């Protein structure tokens, strides 16, 4: 179900980057991860090596201003120490009218902070939507998944609240 949502969202096309890609390859999308190719990490990535196209940080993307149509973050957001800084950076690199795609565990349905020590923040669809709106993103869709997570598509607006 979550994979279907991602496929549908990515089918909208455009130039994008999968931030925190780990070992996830998204068709036609550049992957960025702080782990180098082959490195393993904690949490859900302890058994697989990273396969990024680019090594870097979610808060310091090696891109020009307004150079992407979208940023994708699949199960990364709950790991970010500074999500506000990451959203500000993503806002910098996404074109006006561009979008971000985020999926993460729903704290209201799955207490993953107790299971995965690498989760430093917990979100519900409402709490993440509120944060996105404050940071200048207009939430266009929220989709709950049966596995206890959710996805959000938000569009870059010209207004920071």
For 84-141, write each residue's pLDDT tens digit: 999 999 999 999 999 999 999 999 998 887 888 888 899 999 999 999 999 999 999 9
**Percent of the chain clearing pLDDT 70 (strictly above):** 91
Mean pLDDT value across residues 139-158: 94
pTM of the shown model = 0.88
Sign for the CA dihedral angle at 29, 36, 81, 67 comes to negative
Over residues 47-70, the mean pLDDT reads 85
> What is the model's pLDDT at position 42?
61
From residue 27, alpha-carbon distances to 32, 56, 60, 89, 92 in Å are 14, 20, 23, 23, 24
Alpha-carbon distance 107 to 113, whole Å? Answer: 8
């Amino acid at each position: 179900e979550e994979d279907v949502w991602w496929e549908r969202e990515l089918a909208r096309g455009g130039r994008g980057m999968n931030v925190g890609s780990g070992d996830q390859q998204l068709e036609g999308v550049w992957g960025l991860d702080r782990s180098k190719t082959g490195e393993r990490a904690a949490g859900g990535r302890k058994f697989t090596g990273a396969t990024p196209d680019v090594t870097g940080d979610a808060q310091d993307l090696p891109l020009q201003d307004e150079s992407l149509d979208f940023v994708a973050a699949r199960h990364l957001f709950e790991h970010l120490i500074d999500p506000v800084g990451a959203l500000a950076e993503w806002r910098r690199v996404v074109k006006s009218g561009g979008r971000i795609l985020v999926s993460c565990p729903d704290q209201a349905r799955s207490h993953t902070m107790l299971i995965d020590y690498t989760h430093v923040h917990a979100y519900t669809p409402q709490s993440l939507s509120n944060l996105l709106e404050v940071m200048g993103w207009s939430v266009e869709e929220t989709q709950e998944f049966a596995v206890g997570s959710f996805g959000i598509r938000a569009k870059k607006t010209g207004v920071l609240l």
